Amino acid sequence: MHSMQAGYMDKAHKYTDKALLQIEKLKIIDSHPILAAFQLMLLEHIIMCRLVMGQKSAAIQEISQACQVCTQNPRLFSTHGSQLHTLLGLYAMSMNCMERAEVQFNTALRSTSSTELWQFISFNLAIVYLRTGKQQDLATILERIDPERTQIASHSLRAAGYYVRGLHAFFQARYNEAKRYLRETLKMTNLEDLNRLTACSLVLLGHIFLSVGNTTESMNMVSPAMQLASKIPDLHVQLWASALLRDLYQMLRDPIREAESYQMHNDFSQQLLEDHYQSSQQPEHNLLQVNTYLHNILFI
């Protein structure tokens, strides 16, 4: 779990696979409810790793597996139901199904009693509203999760709050304000080794500098963002960074590196498109169509 939070997805994936295998062995001897609880927690973390790594088809299968764990242990749904809806919302976002993501996140918000989970869901819902242009809904939720006015105990969530504000300012072409928020994010992520949020902030800063024609500063942000995203690995940040590098090398009249960046971007894009198609064809993808609490579907 620490590896995932720090942004080392490969390491988190390796350790989680070992732990899940051990749990399956223990369940053969004694199917104690605590084993199912651990299994569910590990599945929740590996699903988030999968989504970061661009492995949506594996993620939705594991979401379905998590639902089955709850079916076998109904009491778990009372403590993990909102997390399952959150994971479905994150999966829907990665599939660009924004309407479905909004439904899942709002269902999760209504069913959680955890302040930290409520804030995490709200940050992601804010990005959905940003991407779908729902300005009134966005303004309402941003007011509730403003890191400069709202008490956010978690260091990583507070950093995420500044990132969301920076992204919002970027969408509105308020570049100086966006840079201020993103620098706050970077201060916090560097203290806590939050590599994924660091990579996202750097690539967004690079995009901002490119938008104002400052190729030198843009390159100074995008290059380390790409290195960090490759280390994680975060396929979506790699896609974003490679597109910026392609444009930067074109502006700098460096055709060889421009061609290399173009090929990288094409490869990342192809990986994501193939996985997107594979995910959409799986029967588990239909979980996104659930418009009510999963509990009502799983336990009728």
Tell me how crowded residue 3 is: count the other CB atoms within 10 A of its CB.
17
- Per-residue pLDDT for the chain (300 aa), expressed as one digit of tens each? 445 555 567 777 777 878 878 877 777 777 777 888 888 989 998 999 899 999 999 999 999 999 998 888 888 888 888 999 999 999 999 999 999 999 999 999 999 999 999 999 999 999 999 999 999 999 999 999 999 988 888 999 999 999 999 999 999 999 999 999 999 999 999 888 899 999 999 999 999 999 999 999 999 999 999 999 999 999 999 999 999 999 999 999 999 999 999 999 999 999 999 999 999 999 999 999 876 666 554 444
Tokens of 273: 């498109």
Q: For residue 236, what are the contacts with CB-CB under 8 A and spacing of at least 6?
A: 52, 54, 94, 272
Burial of 253 (0-12, 13-18, 19+ CB in 10 A): exposed
Residues recorded for the chain = 300
**Helices 155-171 and 115-132 meet at what angle, rounded to 10?**
10
Residues 70 and 64: their CA atoms lie apart, in Å, by: 10
Amino acid identity of residue 1, one-letter, is M
Per-residue pLDDT reduced to its tens digit, 115-161: 999 999 999 999 999 999 999 999 999 999 999 988 888 999 999 99
Tokens of 272: 């994501």
- Rama region for 213: left / alpha / beta (φ>0; ψ in -120 to 50; rest): left
**Cα angle: 119, vertex 235, 165; to 5 degrees:** 35
Q: What does R_g of the chain's alpha carbons equal in angstroms?
A: 20
**DSSP letters spanning 258-300:** HHHHHHHHHHHHHHHHHHHHHHHTSGGGGGGG--S-HHHHHT-
Residues 227 and 229: their CA atoms lie apart, in Å, by: 6
Q: How far lies 89's CA from each of 81, 199, 252, in Å?
A: 13, 22, 40
| pTM reported for the whole predicted model | 0.91
Q: Tokens 């919302």 identify what position?
A: 89
